[in-house]
A = this chain, B = another copy of it.
Amino acid sequence: MGLIVQKFGGTSVGSVEKIQNAANRAIAEKQKGHQVVVVVSAMGKSTDELVGLAKAISDQPSKREMDMLLATGEQVTISLLSMALQEKGYDAVSYTGWQAGIRTEAVHGNARITDIDTSVLADQLEQGKIVIVAGFQGMTEDCEITTLGRGGSDTTAVALAAALKADKCDIYTDVPGVFTTDPRYVKSARKLAGISYDEMLELANLGAGVLHPRAVEFAKNYQVPLEVRSSTETEAGTLIEEESSMEQNLIVRGIAFEDQITRVTIYGLTGGLTTLSTIFTTLAKRNINVDIIIQTQAGDNQTGISFSVKTEDADQTVAVLEEYKDALEFEKIETESKLAKVSIVGSGMVSNPGVAAEMFAVLAEKNILIKMVSTSEIKVSTVVSENDMVKAVEALHDAFELSKHPSAVS
């Protein structure tokens, strides 16, 4: 007998029928003899409706009151799911974040979990009940209601799994698992049977979108095995855990990509040692996320720098830099838009130095010009023209034989 934490996102509890379906998933694990904790998000579009009400009253509603408002969404779902389980003859009990012992830092809208007092939950599980917990929310030391920000329900589920020493945390979602690449673009994309935390982190950060990076990091830190799986199909999903031995020799696990990238290049930087930190600190303060950064030595006292940002942030990026032109001491700024980032991810790379070279060769063969490169231990990212993006992904998916991979489930 084990302990399973299940998490259902907003689309998986978006109607009475879907709530019934989630109840059946919980019952299936209960019938296997497991203890079951279910974490749920707010129903489908209900959060949007609440935000709409707030916006009708204030352009910038206080974050404390937004937390108060939004926390009602999950509270509705937990009570309905608990009723559905009881109607099906199972003993169930629902808890809000604060009732479930989820303590957070005193930050509204984006709080981090600091501690979980599992005594109430453990007691109810011991009594054989299916325990339902509201995701995305917690309480500060001062009894203030907080929310955890984007991906908050994933984080709640993983944190509860860690605190309760669960055997597994199942993330039910509207896709059947994690794919080698986005199947909407590449037909031969396959669902992965397994992937490591680090690989998932790279894929999540690169926009694969099924699981929030924060939750993956949490799972990695506490070694909680995760499974991403379909809330409508019963087939196995993708297991995320520390490297499994049978798959250690895989080099590339998946290919992530993202369009609407702009490259910003600053020429003739003559400032001193602190110039670089000044540039990126200034941009960070304006909430501009900089991704790939490349520095080039152009002359004795001149430095050039290129970095990529989301195209939607490009204008503001240039405006901010021009504002500080005197302090930063540079010659000029150029931007290039309509770019895309294509990345190969795989923990096998760390012991295979030729992977980046192979990637470049594949792209060259397809006449795709690489405009920027960035590497980490388990990832190689390239920036290419937006027009080349899908072609690049398809070529790399073929070249690294991702559709034939032993880890892929047909």
User: Using a CB–CB distance below 8 Å, which chain A residues touch chain B?
Assistant: 16, 19-20, 50, 53-54, 56-58, 61-62, 64-66, 68-69, 71-72, 75-76, 78-80, 82-84, 86-87, 93-94, 96, 99, 120, 143-145
Contacts and interface: CB of A to CB of B under 8 A. Distances in A.
A135 to B, nearest CB: 15
A96 to B, nearest CB: 8
A87 B96 CA distance: 29
Closest 10 A-B residue pairs measured CB to CB? A72-B72, A69-B79, A68-B79, A58-B87, A65-B79, A61-B83, A16-B56, A58-B83, A65-B82, A57-B83
A83 B62 contact: yes
Contacts of A75: 68-69, 71-72, 75
Given A50-B76, A79-B65, A94-B65, A84 B71 contact: no
A68 B94 contact: yes
A106 to B, nearest CB: 14
A71 to B, nearest CB: 7
Contact of A57 (B64, B68, B87): B87
11 contacts: A19-B57, A53-B76, A54-B83, A58-B87, A64-B93, A68-B78, A69-B76, A69-B79, A72-B76, A99-B143, A99-B144
A57 B16 contact: yes
A65 B23 CA distance: 15
A169 to B, nearest CB: 24
Nearest to A72: B72
Contacts of A65: 79-80, 82-83, 86, 94
B58 A84 contact: yes
A80 to B, nearest CB: 6
A68 B100 CA distance: 13
Contacts of A53: 16, 76, 80
Nearest to A23: B57
